[in-house]
Structure 1
């Protein structure tokens, strides 16, 4: 029964929420959020470490490492964490978009790509499938990203307290 509903679907294949979800899941960048916890933390640490190539010189220009090593490290770490924040924001927005598309009963799409927006109402079986994917596949990814944001904010708070002590 689902085959017939999907086969008469007017939405171009690349704009179907299930295909957008699959594309995001298989993409190089967005798949980071789906990795096991250790691999996910490694990716975030990798971004943080490499961002020191940009933030290290800025931090050293502000705080000489020989004279103020604590401020240098905290400044560089905070600036590098800003890059982690940007990565997390991009991941979160991408997954949130797909989750919203999966959870909505109507699919807005473009037929020719020139401002001819159309709307297709998902049949019940397609809507149910998409709801299940949004709830059990995408929502845990979003929760992981939210927890990571919380840890990042907590680390900024701890770094601020250490800064005051120094």
Structure 2
């Protein structure tokens, strides 16, 4: 018998402060692994690869919130961490004169992914415990911008511990 395993896919959306997904779509095309198609003067199409590896993405509008999002599947957060995807979108949006306004996780995320982002955003990551690193990630990524972020329900290991016991 053979068993196939892949890294946990993380559904991650970066909020972009625009009413129509113009910059969101452009950012998604620039960062996703598959990149974008361009057409030469002769009409031939060519695919230009994206900036980030193991990332699927598209720009979408959220009319009920009055913003747009770069909606991404991070297929391997050890290769493209949350903060790398967030900062890439933030940089592209800023280049277009638009700001980001936080992000959101859809479903569960591995603790290791949140801790890695916490180490990126924390002022002194070497002295921080897991809770402090998670708090730094939540603040740095703006995970609480659309609604409160419940780390104990959103982080796989903490959710399991809470619901199944230690």
| TM-score of the pair, normalised by structure 2 | 0.28
Higher helix content, 1 or 2: 1
Higher strand content, 1 or 2: 2
| TM-score of the pair, normalised by structure 1 | 0.28
